Structures are given as C-alpha cells and as structure tokens.
Chains A and B, each alone.
Chain A
Amino acid sequence: QKEVEQNSGPLSVPEGAIASLNCTYSDRGSQSFFWYRQYSGKSPELIMFIYSNGDKEDGRFTAQLNKASQYVSLLIRDSQPSDSATYLCAVTGPGANFGNEKLTFGTGTRLTIIP
C-alpha cells in the first residue's frame, strides 16, 4: 500500500471554477500535511500547510484535513490558467515522532485550467 496516494489526473477544470485535489495517507500517526505546486521543469513550491483537523484558508487556497478519515484536500477557488501545474501532497513519514519527521510525497496530481 502506498503511503501517500493522489489521483494522478490529469484533472481539467474550467477557468473560474473550483479545483479540488485529494490526498489520502496510510499512517495514522502523521502530524503535518503540506501541499506543493510544481510547474514543469521547476522545483516544488510550498503553497499550504495544515496541522489540525478542519479548514485552513489562504487567499484562493483552502486546505482541509480529516485525520479520522486520513485524507487531506486542497481547494483552489476561481481557478486561473496560472494554476495549471502538478500538485504534490506531502505528509510526515510512517512512525513519525519528534526527531523523525521525514516527509513522504505523493506522486502528484496534474491540474489543467481550461480558459
């Protein structure tokens, strides 16, 4: 079983709509959750992080965490063509405890915003 799973896509969303990206993880002990955006040929860029159950909003981005169901999602409102990229979910690694917080990445979801 993969430790962090994402739908590889591609996910196509019309401009102005809401893009919804999902991620599930296997380790119930995971404490920290991150979303990175990666444009083709570039390095990953951190866009959101969330530690507690619930929603966290930052501009057009909302991260949602549900530890009981072991999933984290990213919503992008008013999607723009510049949001077209691969989105990587990252979670603290299996058996995570203070001092062993290895990040495990999903394989990423490719998002395309259609003008």
Chain B
Amino acid sequence: KAGVTQTPRYLIKTRGQQVTLSCSPISGHRSVSWYQQTPGQGLQFLFEYFSETQRNKGNFPGRFSGRQFSNSRSEMNVSTLELGDSALYLCASRRAIIYEQYFGPGTRLTVT
C-alpha cells in the first residue's frame, strides 16, 4: 500500500508570496493533518480535516489555511509568506479520527 505523498518536496519562495502544498493520504484514510516543524519550536499542529471538514485547528495565524477534497487529498496554503515560515511542513493521514497517524515525507519550504 502506498504511503502518504506530498508535493513538492522542496520549495523556495520570496517573502510576501503565497504557496500551496499538496498531500495525498494513504488509500482509505479519510483524515489528513498538517504540521509545521522547526528546530526551535518542534512539531506544531496546524489543522486536521476529516471528510472535507476541518475538525481541529492549531494556534496559527489566518495566513495558514487548508482544505480537503472529496477524494481525501488535501492542500495547505500560506499567504503573505514571512521568513519565519521557513520550515518542514508535514502531512499525516489516518483512517479515522481515533486511529494512528502516518506521516508523509514533508515539504521543505525556504522563504528568502
């Protein structure tokens, strides 16, 4: 069974731009979560979607948004990029809310 896939794997953007990251969950998984990981802050929860509905949200500004499609694929958007948004963005999927999560390889975003 294929794992969680994320595209692109690496991205370089300029401050002020916006970016969209994509995540395809494991087949049959209906929940997708997004995390930001930086050396200083560790793994920070952004949001979780289940059946196209946002079920949980972390403490990030409104510049961070996401959505989930009917096929469970998810996208995350960051508008007006700041230098501090440079991080590894991880997507994780699980079969349903109460089950274990599996992570994708991540998207390394660098904002210059």
A binds B: yes
The residue in B43, B90, B102 that gathers the most chain A C-beta atoms within 10 A of its C-beta is B43
Q: How far is the CB of B9 from chain A (nearest CB, A)?
A: 11
Of all chain A residues, the one with the shortest Cβ separation from B101 is A103
**Contact yes or no, A32 B98, CB < 8 A:** yes
Of A100, A103, A106, A107, which one neighbours B33 at CB under 8 angstroms? A103
**Contact yes or no, B97 A101, CB < 8 A:** yes
**Contact yes or no, A102 B103, CB < 8 A:** no
**Contact yes or no, B43 A46, CB < 8 A:** no
B64 within 8 A of A: no
Interface string of A46-79 (1 = CB under 8 A from B): 1001000000000000000000000000000000
B14 within 8 A of A: no
* CB within 8 Å for A44 and B90 given contacts A105-B42, A108-B42: yes
Of B100, B104, B105, which one neighbours A46 at CB under 8 angstroms? B100
CB-CB contacts below 8 Å: A65-115 with B: 88, 90, 93, 98-108
Of A43, A44, A103, A108, which one neighbours B45 at CB under 8 angstroms? A103
**Contact yes or no, B56 A43, CB < 8 A:** no
> A48 vs B74: C-alpha distance in the bound complex, in angstroms?
26
Chain B residues near A34: list those with CB within 8 A. Answer: 100-101
> A43 vs B91: C-alpha distance in the bound complex, in angstroms?
9
> A88 vs B42: C-alpha distance in the bound complex, in angstroms?
10
> A98 vs B96: C-alpha distance in the bound complex, in angstroms?
10
**Contact yes or no, A44 B43, CB < 8 A:** yes
**Contact yes or no, B98 A98, CB < 8 A:** yes
Chain A residues near B75: list those with CB within 8 A. Answer: none
Q: A100-B56, A103-B101 are in contact. List 13 more A-B contacts (CB 8 A).
A: A31-B98, A32-B98, A44-B90, A45-B103, A46-B101, A46-B103, A49-B100, A88-B43, A100-B55, A103-B45, A104-B45, A105-B42, A105-B45
By a beta-carbon cutoff of 8 Å, the part of chain A in contact with chain B is: 31-32, 34, 36, 42-46, 49, 88, 90, 93, 98-108
By a beta-carbon cutoff of 8 Å, the part of chain B in contact with chain A is: 33, 42-43, 45, 48, 55-56, 88, 90, 97-98, 100-106
